[in-house]
Structure 1
Amino acid sequence: MTNTKDSASPIDAVDEELIDTLIAISVVAKRLAAKLRQSTENQSESEEPKNE
């Protein structure tokens, strides 16, 4: 059984790195979405007075 546990350790390290990478991608995606939302709101606000 210890042999299985020893061979599972490198997989766990790779999984941990993959988890960290996916979390980083998620954080960046959230920031980009917030910037896009803010940009869209700013464009909408700047277009409203022009239409009046």
Structure 2
Amino acid sequence: MQTETIDKSQQATSSIDEELIDTLIAISVVAKRLAANLRQQNTENGGKQDEQNE
């Protein structure tokens, strides 16, 4: 009985971990695309590639 409860708990945690991993990967992909688009726009507008606003 107790072992069965632990197994179900581990499966739920594993499922949540997988969802979290997938979400973080998706955020990373979107951030990379946004950075590439900003870099391209910046170079097209004649700005420096590594310039930051302060």
Q: Which TM-score applies when normalising by structure 2?
A: 0.72
Q: More relative contact order in 1 or in 2 (CA 8 Å, sep 6+)?
A: 2
Q: Over the residues paired in the alignment, what is the CA RMSD in angstroms?
A: 1.6
Give the ranges of 4+ consecutive aligned residues of structure 1 lying more than 6 Å apart after TM superposition.
Answer: none
Point out the structure with the larger helix share: 1
Percent identical among aligned pairs is 53
Task: Pick one of 26, 35, 38 that aligns with 1:36.
Answer: 38
Q: How many residues align?
A: 45
Q: Distance in 1 between matches of 2:9 and 2:42?
A: 50
2:28 aligned residue: 26
Structure 2, unmatched stretches of 5+, are 48-54
